[in-house]
């Protein structure tokens, strides 16, 4: 169990879904990855909440989605070492069909090779048990208040307690410095062929307990 020592930091429940969708969609509206997948700004603004509805529903169900503030201003999805995957059979099937029918099929096809690259980079650079930061999002108007730190530090402290590493990736250059501030090291920069996209793999080594 992660304890941030802050009552406003919490594991999200399904009642938080609508607000969490707002946070994720707002934070990622101008993200390079999503601009590449959905170039039209109007379409992107409309489609992102649909995608994050499914994404967050799965992670809330899995116990991997966390939030900060009331109402929620920041969201992070963290996986613990050796965390068991859940059986999603029938859980999001209808939602995925709806996404495909609502214009996501082509973006998913564009994203497939990138998702495979994410997975391969993680296996390469973090082969041992580790905490994995899948995503972090803070409302644009709430940035600069230290909320990202409150969504990151508790997990790194837990990683240090357990003497395990942490790993994440980003497609935004400005985020590299943020993660380096928390002790991550950039272990690979990969340019996605035929795009302007780059992936930075970031690894925070194990800190052995004394």
Exposure string over 37-55, b if 16+ CB within 10 A, otherwise e: bbeeeeebeebbebbbbbb
Contacts of 155 (CB under 8 A, 6+ apart): 2, 78, 131, 133, 166
Contacts of 51 (CB under 8 A, 6+ apart): 99, 104
- Summarize pLDDT for 171-180 with one digit per residue, the tens: 999 999 999 9
**What is the secondary structure of 77-101 as a DSSP string?**
EEE-TTPPPP--TTTSHHHHHHHII
Vertex 136, ends 133 and 139: CA angle to 5°?
A: 170
Tell me the C-alpha distance between 143 and 30, whole Å.
14
Which pLDDT belongs to residue 4?
Answer: 53
Which pLDDT belongs to residue 106?
Answer: 81
Which pLDDT belongs to residue 209?
Answer: 62
Average pLDDT, stretch 13-30? 97
Tell me the C-alpha distance between 89 and 65, whole Å.
20
User: What domains are defined for the chain?
Assistant: 9-83+90-204 (3.40.630.30)
Q: For residue 108, what are its two tokens?
A: 């998913």
Q: For residue 160, what are its two tokens?
A: 């240090």
Which pLDDT belongs to residue 137?
Answer: 97
Q: Is 137 helix (H, G, I), strand (E, B) or coil?
A: strand
Residue that is written with structure tokens 């799965």 in the block: 58
Q: Closest by alpha carbon to 133, among 194, 200, 69? A: 200
Which pLDDT belongs to residue 207?
Answer: 81
Which pLDDT belongs to residue 5?
Answer: 57
Which pLDDT belongs to residue 6?
Answer: 63
Res. 162: pLDDT tops 50: yes
48, 186, 193, 198 from 190: Cα distances, Å: 25, 11, 9, 5
Average pLDDT value for the chain: 90
Per-residue confidence band for 122, with pLDDT thresholds at 50, 70 and 90: very high
- Summarize pLDDT for 52-103 with one digit per residue, the tens: 999 999 999 999 999 999 999 999 999 999 876 555 544 455 566 666 666 7
């Amino acid at each position: 169990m992660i304890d941030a020592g802050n009552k406003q930091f919490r594991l999200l429940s399904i009642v938080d879904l609508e607000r969490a969708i707002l946070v994720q969609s707002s934070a990622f509206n101008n993200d390079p990855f999503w601009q590449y997948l959905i170039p039209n700004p109007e379409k992107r603004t409309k489609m992102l909440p649909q995608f994050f509805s499914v994404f967050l529903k799965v992670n809330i169900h899995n116990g991997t989605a966390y939030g900060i503030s009331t109402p929620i201003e920041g969201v992070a999805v963290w996986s613990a070492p050796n965390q068991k995957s859940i059986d999603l059979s029938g859980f999001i099937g209808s939602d995925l069909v709806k996404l495909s029918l609502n214009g996501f099929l082509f973006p998913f096809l564009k994203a497939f090779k990138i998702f495979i690259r994410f997975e391969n980079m993680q296996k390469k650079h973090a082969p041992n048990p580790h905490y994995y930061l899948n995503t972090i999002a803070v409302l644009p108007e709430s940035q600069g208040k230290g909320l990202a730190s409150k969504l990151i530090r508790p997990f790194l402290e837990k990683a240090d307690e357990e003497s395990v590493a942490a790993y994440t990736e980003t497609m935004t250059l400005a985020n590299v410095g943020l993660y380096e501030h928390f002790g991550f090291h950039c272990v690979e920069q990969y340019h996605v062929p035929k795009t302007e996209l780059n992936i930075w793999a970031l690894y925070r080594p194990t800190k052995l307990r004394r």
